Structure 1
Amino acid sequence: MQTVTGLYDNHHDAKAVVEQLEDAGISSSDISIAGRGDEGGETYAGEGATAGAGVGAVVGGTGGLLAGLGMLAIPGVGPVVAAGWLAATAAGAAAGAVAGGAAGGLIGSLTSSGVDEDDAHVYAEGVRRGSTVVSARVEDEQADVARSIINDNAPVDLEARRSMYREEGWDRFDEKSPDFTEEELARERDRVRDYRPL
């Protein structure tokens, strides 16, 4: 079993990746998506889906995993639209309110599935700053297909993003960080779009 993960600055790209993974025969139960929602502020949480409630809300006319998108709150990240195994673990950690629970939820579920811990911190910080993470747990024979789908849909260059964050003094995801406001998210999305490495 392998875990293949990508970070996307465009929420629509991330949703397209989920649909392509499902179309390739990867089970919805092995795919996760978590992000701050669309750049225009639209979310996919159904009526009655509240922060911390998990991912059970059925919404919209979408099938597969995307039909189960719901809202949850992750300390240090804020409200996210999420579905899948990664979201369920993060929701459980947040609901448990244990010290370091958010990192244990988001970062811990990625690392326990084989994602490098340093990369998991960049993924979590990316979600905090408005990006969307897609992760698929796949059998070895499906790994190349999943990797190809993730890489063919304009994922963030993780090394470049890590460098950008470190240029401003960032070291690791911190669940005690304040949530980004909508204005800060908009500025961050503009900044990453225009970023050029030093």
Structure 2
Amino acid sequence: MKTVTGLFDDYTDASSAVSALESAGVPSNDISIVSNNADNRHGDHSNAGEDAGTGAGIGAVVGGAGGLLTGLGLMAIPGVGPVVAAGWLAATAAGAVAGAVAGGAAGGIIGAMTSSGVSEADAHVYAEGVRRGGSLVTAKVDDALVPEAEAILKRSNWVDPAQRRVAYNEQGWTKFDDTLDPYGPEQIKQERGRYRRPGL
């Protein structure tokens, strides 16, 4: 088993990638999605704001077409803010945050990714990408399916982590910091505008 991960600027691209991975034979319980919900696109049926400091568990179910996406729940991640999430990565991050002492919660999303095989450098980019409004899809796949799973993520308009790291570094960013305020809807809109492909 190997972990494959893709960051997406658009939730629609991320959900398409999840569906394509499921269609390719990756079991739903081996796939995770964590998507910024600062714009309340999925509603606000949780106490995510109250639990941002303590680490909320996965809350109310929100709609989806089937498979993993039917199990989306609301939670909060320190430094990221409200997210909709489903799957093993979300559960691992929520558990790590809930058990962390104050100031040590960075282990939540970063630790969940690195313990599953994502490099620490990429984990910081992915966490920052979600903080800035993106969606993260992570899947544990059999070695034989790795090339197909990676191709699915790339076809679904994934973000190249090396290029995004350079873009973030040019803005003075060095790593994900869970003590920073989450991005609000207007900041996210501006951030998405930086990377929007011409014609979209």
Q: Flag whether TM exceeds 0.5 (same fold).
A: yes
What are the ranges of 5 or more consecutive residues in structure 1 without an aligned counterpart? Answer: none
- Matching residue within 165, 173, 177 for 1:174: 177
Listed as ranges, the matches of 1:72-87 within 5 Å are: 72-87=75-90
What are the ranges of 5 or more consecutive residues in structure 2 without an aligned counterpart? Answer: 49-54
Q: What is the DSSP-based 3-state SS (H/G/I as helix, E as strand, rest coil) of the residue aligned with 1:135?
A: strand
1:10 lines up with 2:19 in the alignment: no
- Say if 1:90 and 1:102, in contact at 8 Å, map to a contact too: no
1:55 lines up with 2:58 in the alignment: yes
For the aligned residue pairs, the C-alpha RMSD in angstroms reads 2.1
Instruction: Give, in whole Å, the separation in 2 of the partners of 1:44 and 1:82.
Output: 13
Q: CA deviation at 1:107?
A: 1.0
- Matching residue within 127, 139, 142 for 1:139: 142
Amino acid at match of 1:87: A
In structure 2, the partner of 1:30 is 30
Change (3 A) 1:18 1:61: closer
In structure 2, the partner of 1:119 is 122
Q: What is the DSSP-based 3-state SS (H/G/I as helix, E as strand, rest coil) of the residue aligned with 2:108?
A: helix
In structure 2, the partner of 1:190 is 193
Instruction: Give, in whole Å, the separation in 2 of the partners of 1:109 and 1:100.
Output: 17
Instruction: Give, in whole Å, the separation in 1 of the partners of 2:143 and 2:187.
Output: 40
- Say if 2:64 and 2:71, in contact at 8 Å, map to a contact too: no
In structure 1, the partner of 2:41 is 42
- Say if 1:7 and 1:123, in contact at 8 Å, map to a contact too: yes
Q: TM-score, normalised on structure 2?
A: 0.88
Same amino acid, percent of matched pairs? 57
Change (3 A) 1:171 1:53: closer
In structure 1, the partner of 2:111 is 108
In structure 2, the partner of 1:21 is 21
Q: What is the DSSP-based 3-state SS (H/G/I as helix, E as strand, rest coil) of the residue aligned with 1:124?
A: helix
- Say if 1:55 and 1:84, in contact at 8 Å, map to a contact too: no
Q: Deviations over 1:122-142 (max 9, x none)?
A: 000000000111000111112
Instruction: Give, in whole Å, the separation in 1 of the partners of 2:120 and 2:112.
Output: 10
Instruction: Give, in whole Å, the separation in 1 of the partners of 2:158 and 2:64.
Output: 26
- Say if 2:62 and 2:71, in contact at 8 Å, map to a contact too: yes
Q: CA deviation at 1:154?
A: 1.0
Moved more, 122-131 or 59-68: 59-68
In structure 2, the partner of 1:156 is 159
Instruction: Give, in whole Å, the separation in 1 of the partners of 2:93 and 2:181.
Output: 18
Instruction: Give, in whole Å, the separation in 2 of the partners of 1:23 and 1:194.
Output: 27
